[in-house]
Chain A
Amino acid sequence: GQQLNQSPQSMFIQEGEDVSMNCTSSSIFNTWLWYKQDPGEGPVLLIALYKAGELTSNGRLTAQFGITRKDSFLNISASIPSDVGIYFCAGQLRLRSGGGADGLTFGKGTHLIIQP
């Protein structure tokens, strides 16, 4: 199956710094999604990308769908303490002709830690 390489695995930053993380794949995806997961909770959607080259912002978050459809990045500007958590990228290959949908393939996550 598809594999996603997400990096970095963890980041230790100071409050106020900008953050950048990315995912790469050996195969193409039609959709890229970025989620944040807090301990004991389910992943919460941050940004969804549907078109190669698309650049989308959600407040201090910006994500891009790579032109090759094999990569995506997420940037967080001016980090704040509540940004702490695990960030996952996820790719979806296609919608099936019969109407069903492929499941998401998740990266292993980037653990963001903000130092006071």
Chain B
Amino acid sequence: EPEVTQTPSHQVTQMGQEVILRCVPISNHLYFYWYRQILGQKVEFLVSFYNNEISEKSEIFDDQFSVERPDGSNFTLKIRSTKLEDSAMYFCAEGGLRSPLHFGNGTRLTVT
């Protein structure tokens, strides 16, 4: 089965730096999502993206986060000024109107 591809697989950054996490969806689904999972905890919803704009965002998704689909294929999550507590696995997911979400293998973000 095709995979949602995420890059990089691991990103280490210093506190206060900007990071961009990338996702390449593999189908013509309409809905794209970012989730995060702090080590040992549950998966948490960040943002959904539909028709090239944000559809819904959680309270975690504050002003330091932004999403883009710059070239119609890649889907990015930018964290403007990283904090220690941003360290987590970040998962991209995609789905259709009635199809369930399929997740990528994630980017492990470590903020030092």
Residues of A that sit less than 8 Å from B by CB: 1, 31, 33, 35, 40-45, 48, 50, 88, 90, 95-96, 98-109
Contact = CB atoms under 8 A, between A and B. Distances in A.
Contacts, number: 74
A78 B93 CA distance: 31
A64 B46 CA distance: 27
Contact of A106 (B33, B43, B47): B43
Interface string B70-112: 0000000000000000000001010101111111111000000
Given A43-B91, A48-B100, A95-B97, A103 B48 contact: yes
Interface of B: 4, 30-31, 33, 35, 41-48, 50-51, 55-56, 58, 91, 93, 95, 97-106
Contacts of B91: 42-43
B97 A103 contact: no
Contacts of B33: 103-104
B106 A96 contact: no
Chain A interface, >50% SS class: loop
A41 B50 contact: no
B43 A88 contact: yes
Nearest to A101: B31
Contacts of A45: 100-103
Contact of B48 (A40, A41, A48, A102): A102
A74 to B, nearest CB: 14
B43 A43 contact: yes
Given A101-B31, A101-B95, A43 B103 contact: yes
Contacts of B98: 50
A33 B43 contact: no
A77 to B, nearest CB: 22
13 contacts: A42-B91, A45-B101, A96-B56, A100-B55, A100-B56, A101-B56, A103-B45, A103-B48, A104-B33, A104-B35, A104-B45, A104-B101, A108-B42
A98 B45 CA distance: 19
A101 B42 contact: no
- Please name the 8 residue pairs, one residue from A and one from B, whose CB atoms are nearest each other, closest first: A100-B55, A103-B45, A42-B103, A48-B100, A100-B50, A106-B43, A108-B42, A106-B42
